[in-house]
Amino acid sequence: MTEEHLLKLYFPANPDRLCLVRALVKRASEIAGCNSDLAEKLVLAVNEACMNVIQHAYKGDYSGEIVLEILNNDNRLLFRVKDYAAPIDLECVKHRDLDDIRPGGLGTFFIKEIMDECTMGHLEDGVGNYLEMIKKIR
Amino acid sequence: MNINTREEGGYAIIELIGEVDLSCSPVARKQILACLKAKQDLLVDLSAVTYIDSSGVASLVEGYQTAKKQNLKFGLIGVSDSAMSVLQLARLDKVFPIHANVEERLRADG
């Protein structure tokens, strides 16, 4: 089993930085062998995960830090998003029913639709949260 | 993201240009709701959108619902491939009235 660390990025929980994150995720996905269509979907999912951290974990505190790691483990891409905000209520993280047409509630749906596996939890030291998303690319 | 506005065929047209994400979707939302508050029928032109996330889509959904409540016409025109793939993922491509351009929308209006 070979594991390749494609990216480790620390960035502030500021919406202005999302364009930079998207560019890096797209390039890292392409380097791992994803075609352009898949890379764009992965970009959308990771962007939504980071947005959720900005809006719901840090609640708009732009000084918070987000850590994004991308690893390629035998053509299973792992995207790990970590924050150091107060632990969120994991029961509250759910997407809306798609038939219930209203603004919001789509980000988590996009992530689940695009990725093959998603795991959320709290960091071990009691401060912070993580989301791990896996996509099989072969 | 940049925004151009114009009027054509009795509609206010809001053209969103570039990446519509959390950093700028509040601006798009404000512009959309301002048009509807002014009782203008509205088309949002997405032909030059290179990326849209769920916050941008939420602004469109809010516009659609606000227009409906106020009996105003609302729709999307010239949806780029990139924006369409996100709308399809959200199953919203069958919810929004979508046309290629203003002329096609006007023909559909009759």
Query: What is the interface pTM, i.e. ipTM, of the complex?
Result: 0.92
Do B51 and A106 make contact, defined as CB atoms within 8 angstroms? no
Which chain A residues touch B82 with a CB distance below 8 Å? Answer: 40
Which chain B residues touch A11 with a CB distance below 8 Å? Answer: none
Q: Which residue of A has its CA nearest to B89?
A: A110
What pLDDT is attached to residue B102?
98
CA distance A66 to B103: 46
What pLDDT is attached to residue A97?
72
pLDDT digit string (tens) for A7-64? 999 999 999 999 999 999 999 999 999 999 999 999 999 999 999 999 999 998 999 9
What pLDDT is attached to residue A133?
98
Which helix (H) or strand (E) segment holds residue B12: the answer is strand B11-20
What pLDDT is attached to residue A96?
67
pLDDT above 70 coverage of chain B, percent: 100
Q: Which residue of B has its CA nearest to A54?
A: B22
Give the model's confidence band at A125: pLDDT under 50 very low, under 70 low, under 90 confident, else very high: confident
Which CATH number among 3.40.50.1970, 3.30.1600.10, 3.30.750.24, 3.30.450.20 corresponds to the domain B2-109? 3.30.750.24
Mutate to test the interface with A, among B24, B50, B52, B55 (most CBs of A within 10 A): B55
**How many other C-beta atoms are found inside a 10 Å radius of the C-beta of residue A60?**
11
Torsion of CA B61, A17, A114, A34, to 10 degrees: 140
Do A103 and B91 make contact, defined as CB atoms within 8 angstroms? no
What's A46's domain CATH number?
3.30.565.10
Which of these, B6, B3, B11, B4, lies nearest to B36 by C-alpha position? B11
Do A106 and B57 make contact, defined as CB atoms within 8 angstroms? yes
**Count of the separate structural domains present in chain A:** 1
Q: How far, CA to CA in Å, does A97 sit from each of A39, A108, B15? A: 26, 11, 29
Please give the mean pLDDT across all residues of chain A: 92
Do B65 and A101 make contact, defined as CB atoms within 8 angstroms? yes
What pLDDT is attached to residue A3?
87
Segments forming the whole domain that contains residue A80: 3-136
Q: Which residues of A touch B (CB under 8 A)?
A: 15-16, 18-19, 22, 40-41, 43-44, 47-48, 51, 54-55, 98, 101-104, 106-107, 109-110, 113-114
Reduced to 3 states (helix: H, G, I; strand: E, B; else coil), residue A84 is coil
Give the model's confidence band at A94: pLDDT under 50 very low, under 70 low, under 90 confident, else very high: confident
What pLDDT is attached to residue A98?
67
pLDDT digit string (tens) for A80-92? 999 999 998 887 7
Q: Which residue of A has its CA nearest to B20?
A: A19
More confident residue, B55 or A3: B55
Q: Which residue of A has its CA nearest to B85?
A: A41
What pLDDT is attached to residue A1?
61
Do B54 and A51 make contact, defined as CB atoms within 8 angstroms? yes
Do B54 and A55 make contact, defined as CB atoms within 8 angstroms? no
| The token pair that represents B51 in the structure block | 């990326």
Rounded mean pLDDT of B57-85? Answer: 97
Do B54 and A18 make contact, defined as CB atoms within 8 angstroms? no
What pLDDT is attached to residue B71?
97
pLDDT digit string (tens) for B75-105? 999 999 999 999 999 999 999 999 999 999 9
Question: pTM for the complete prediction?
Answer: 0.94
What pLDDT is attached to residue A89?
83
pLDDT above 70 coverage of chain A, percent: 95
